[in-house]
Amino acid sequence: MDKSIKNKKITFVRFAVRTLAISASTFALFDFLKGDYQAGGLLALGWLTIVIGEKRMFNGEKTNEES
């Protein structure tokens, strides 16, 4: 396995944030397909906010190799 890939611990908080992001993106896609553009746009904006927040929250987290 490549040593440059960082194995990060999967904590409950990380799992919850990723689940929220996946749900928001899925619901946004379904709303766009249904033609409900306002709800789809708001969900897409929420998804983008979650992704940016996740990157900022977990940017300095230790990896399994460092602990």
| Spatial separation of the C-alpha atoms in residues 31 and 43, rounded to whole Å | 9
The closest of 32, 41, 7, 31 to 49, measured between CA atoms, is 41
pLDDT of residue 38: 96
Write down the domain spans for the chain. 24-57
pLDDT of residue 25: 95
pLDDT of the chain along its 67 residues, tens only? 555 455 667 789 899 999 999 999 999 999 999 999 999 999 999 999 999 999 998 887 665 555 5
pLDDT of residue 62: 62
Predicted TM-score (pTM) of the model is 0.72
